[in-house]
């Protein structure tokens, strides 16, 4: 009896082990490798065409999409389903589709040569798509497709673009977060067929997307879509080449960042040979800052106590440094005479600020510039971002120091770096790093990772920052930046007209135009930097653009 009982126990154990192995195998096939096996099985019975890339969304701070904002329709042909009714089908489609004779002939040749589905036409509207589907032509359907970059895309240089051939990000956020945005399976329009390649009744044409092992994520930016849109609307009317940066001064969040000329990422080839370089992101490219750099000179001089607010300087219209004469920007007008440092900032006096820089010395001026972030890339980490240039102090002779004092010579800065300087002044001398990615989320919206503002670093005293704000207020109230004053809210800032060393056809020097400032005056919410490449005058060109953008976003 005991022996028989042992045999029974062994037999039961054997079957339990076998059953356990079968369950594990089923779990492996159904759960672990289910999607891949399903795809393999369906590939035998499915004729499919990818109609939507497997790629996460790029969203603004309020979860509004900056990608996949437009939907269009394509006419898709399944050659295996048409049979011998090709000519009848084409005859019925021709009146509906915007196709040339050549395009129709190419489509017909492809239809006869291919067994795989293809697009006969794309970019048709919903009404035409409905008409095509109402015809119920065998093997021909109109299907909706999301356009990754839509038409008139906002923040083109921020979003960037992908290589459609392999779904890989190339520039902007698309390139920086490519691995997180990119999924492994696109969405298909498919014909479900039997062994004889006939449509299976009840299934027919389907949109399908199997669960992928590599699910895409979304990237949520600090950009505010409404502010970005209003900014770009103004830029489209006023800036041919240039950039605008809008930043939250207390946190470093980039609320809007735009470069002109812009581009349509759906048709990149047409921009590659253009001399205006539409693909260049001018917001992170370096240019001579001109008189905007006088903010750095004043900050360094105040911090090192080489000037006081009640000091009086004399501006004769020029200053001679080692036998080289540096003229004021308004040299043709009468000399300004006696000026306080606030009045010198308001009227952008070159002679006064050159004298201040010479008294201060290269070491202290360069040290302050580097503290403020000049000469190094910001934490935005955009591909192609310039670090700008601040010369080494021991390489600066008096003439070079004079040029640096007015933002000329070897001095170069990006619009983002200028925004960081103004934000530091607004933020009572504490420098915050600009950032543009807020968080990463799953496709269901749950947060994967959040990015917070980095702790700021004090680079100047609260008193110095307060005095600089007083100077910047004078610029818009009675100085060179009066055109930037925002009614009801107030504003402050600094103009800049940076010489390029080139002349136009009339023999006049070509200048870049700047205005960098903040608004409102009480409890500032926005730092706005306007850069107009070859805009000639910061006062006459960049300042009014600042006012228009600021007014638009404050009142809406």
36-57 pLDDT per residue, tens? 555 545 444 566 666 667 788 8
Residues in a beta bridge with 327: 318
In a domain, 82, yes or no: no
Instruction: Give the pLDDT score at 336.
Output: 80
Is 507 a member of any domain? yes
Q: Which residues contact 208 (CB under 8 A, 6 or more apart)?
A: 46, 48, 187, 188, 190
Q: Give burial (CB, 10 Å; 0-12/13-18/19+) of 424.
A: buried
Q: pLDDT at position 104, please?
A: 65
Q: 155 lies in a domain?
A: no
Is there a domain that residue 78 lies in? no
C-alpha distances (whole Å) from 381 to each of 144, 258, 364, 376, 416 are 36, 16, 28, 11, 12
Residue scoring higher pLDDT (469 or 215)? 469
Task: Output the DSSP codes for 193-206.
Answer: B-TTSPBPTTT-EE
* pLDDT for the residue 112: 64
Residue 157: predicted pLDDT = 95
What 3-state class would DSSP assign to 151? coil
Cα dihedral 542→548→550→552 (10° resolution): -160
Whether residue 476 contacts residue 492, with contact meaning beta carbons closer than 8 Å, is answered with yes
Residue 346 has pLDDT above 70, yes or no: yes
Between residues 505 and 259, which one has the greater pLDDT? 259
- In a domain, residue 202? The reply is no
CA distance 323 to 343: 27
Distance from C-alpha of 534 to C-alpha of 240, rounded to nearest angstrom = 9
Taking only the tens place, the pLDDT of each residue in 161-197 is 988 777 788 899 999 998 888 876 667 666 666 555 5
Q: 10, 256, 291, 303: which is closest to 154 by C-alpha?
A: 256
pLDDT value for 214: 60
Which residues span the domain enclosing 327? 225-263+282-555
Q: Structure tokens of 521? A: 């005056």
- β-strands 58-59, 218-221 pairing: parallel
Q: What is the pLDDT of residues 396-455, one digit of tens each?
A: 999 999 999 999 989 999 999 999 999 999 999 999 999 999 999 988 888 888 888 888
Report yes or no on 240 lying in a domain.
yes
| Structure confidence by residue, pLDDT tens digits, 291-310 | 999 999 999 999 999 999 99
The pLDDT of residue 193 is: 63
Residue 132: is its pLDDT beyond 60?
yes
**CA atoms within 13 Å, Cβ hemisphere of 216:** 23
Total-model pTM? 0.83
Confidence band, pLDDT 50/70/90 cuts, at residue 351: very high
The arithmetic mean of pLDDT across residues 89-97, rounded, is 74
d(CA 546, CA 472): 14
The pLDDT, as a whole number, for residue 43 is 47
pLDDT band at 353 (very low <50, low <70, confident <90, very high): very high
pLDDT digits (tens, 9 = 90+) for 5-31: 677 767 767 777 777 777 777 766 566
Round to whole Å and give the CA distance between 275 and 284: 19
Token pair belonging to 550: 């600021």
User: Residue 543: inside a domain, yes or no?
Assistant: yes
Residue 470 tokens, joined? 């007083």
- When pLDDT is cut at 50, 70 and 90, the band that residue 201 belongs to is low
CA distance 553 to 519: 10
Mean pLDDT score, 68-95: 74
- Quote the number of domains for the chain: 2
Beta strands 509-519 and 526-532: pairing type? Answer: antiparallel
Distance CA 399, CA 406 (A): 11
* % the chain with pLDDT above 90: 51
Q: pLDDT at residue 69 above 90? A: no
For residue 514, what pLDDT band results from cuts at 50, 70 and 90? Answer: very high
Peptide bond into 520 cis (omega under 30): yes
Q: For the domain that residue 389 is a member of, what is the CATH number?
A: 3.40.710.10
How far is the C-alpha of 231 from the C-alpha of 255, rounded, in Å?
Answer: 10
Rounded to whole angstroms, how far apart are CA atoms 103 and 110?
Answer: 11
In this prediction, residue 356 carries a pLDDT of 96
Residue 502, token pair as written in the block: 């080139």
Lowest mean pLDDT among 4-18, 236-250, 319-333, 367-381: 4-18
Across the range 470-482, mean pLDDT stands at: 96
Which stretches of 345-491 are assigned E, i.e. beta strand?
A: 430-431, 437-441, 447-450, 457-458
Residue 519 has pLDDT above 80, yes or no: yes
**250 part of a folded domain:** yes
pLDDT at site 46 = 61
């Amino acid at each position: 009896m005991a022996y028989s009982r042992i045999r029974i126990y062994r037999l039961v154990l054997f079957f339990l082990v076998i059953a356990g192995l079968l369950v594990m195998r089923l779990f492996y096939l159904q759960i672990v490798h289910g999607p891949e096996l399903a795809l393999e099985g369906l590939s035998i019975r499915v004729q499919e065409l990818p109609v939507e890339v497997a790629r996460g969304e790029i969203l603004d701070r309020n979860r509004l999409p900056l990608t996949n904002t437009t939907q269009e329709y394509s006419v898709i042909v399944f050659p295996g389903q048409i049979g011998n009714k090709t000519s009848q089908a084409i005859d019925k489609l021709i009146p509906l589709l915007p196709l040339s004779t050549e395009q129709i002939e190419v489509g017909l040749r492809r239809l006869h040569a291919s067994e795989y589905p293809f697009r006969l036409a794309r970019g048709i509207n919903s009404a035409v798509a409905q008409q095509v589907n109402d015809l119920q032509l065998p093997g021909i359907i109109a299907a909706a497709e999301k356009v990754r970059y839509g038409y008139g895309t906002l923040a083109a240089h921020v979003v960037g673009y992908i290589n459609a051939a392999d779904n890989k990000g190339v520039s902007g956020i698309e390139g920086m977060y490519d691995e997180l945005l990119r999924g492994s399976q696109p969405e298909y329009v498919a014909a479900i067929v039997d062994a004889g390649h006939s449509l299976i009744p009840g299934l027919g044409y389907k949109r399908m997307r199997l669960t992928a092992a590599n699910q895409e994520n979304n990237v949520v930016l600090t950009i505010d879509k409404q502010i970005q849109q209003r900014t770009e609307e103004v830029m489209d009317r006023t800036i041919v080449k240039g950039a605008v940066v809008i930043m939250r001064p207390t946190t470093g969040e980039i609320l809007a960042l735009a470069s002109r000329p812009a581009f349509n990422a759906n048709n990149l080839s047409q921009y590659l040979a253009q001399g205006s370089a539409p693909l260049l992101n001018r917001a992170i490219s370096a240019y001579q800052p001109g008189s905007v750099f006088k903010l750095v000179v004043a900050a360094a001089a105040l911090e090192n106590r080489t000037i006081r607010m009640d000091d009086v300087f004399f501006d004769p219209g020029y200053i001679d440094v080692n036998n080289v004469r540096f003229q004021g920007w308004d040299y043709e007008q009468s000399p300004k005479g006696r000026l306080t440092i606030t009045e010198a900032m308001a009227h952008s006096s070159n002679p006064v600020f050159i004298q201040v820089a010479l008294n201060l010395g290269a070491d202290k001026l360069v040290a302050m510039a580097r503290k403020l972030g000049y000469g190094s890339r910001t934490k935005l980490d955009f591909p192609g971002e310039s670090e700008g240039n601040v010369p080494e102090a021991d390489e600066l002779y008096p003439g070079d120091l004079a040029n640096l004092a007015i933002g000329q010579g070897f001095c170069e800065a990006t619009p983002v770096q200028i925004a960081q300087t103004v934000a530091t002044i607004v933020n009572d001398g504490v420098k915050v790093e600009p950032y543009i990615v807020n968080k990463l989320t799953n496709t269901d919206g749950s947060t994967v990772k959040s990015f917070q503002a980095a702790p700021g670093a004090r680079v100047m005293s609260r008193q110095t920052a307060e005095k600089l704000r007083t100077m910047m207020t004078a610029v818009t109230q009675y100085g060179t930046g009066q055109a930037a004053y925002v009614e009801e809210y107030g504003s402050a800032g600094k103009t800049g007209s940076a010489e390029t060393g080139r002349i136009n056809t009339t023999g006049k020097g070509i200048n870049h135009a700047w205005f960098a400032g903040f608004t409102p005056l009480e409890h500032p919410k926005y730092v706005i930097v306007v850069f107009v490449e070859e805009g000639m005058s910061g006062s006459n060109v960049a300042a009014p653009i600042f006012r228009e953008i600021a007014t638009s976003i404050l009142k809406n």
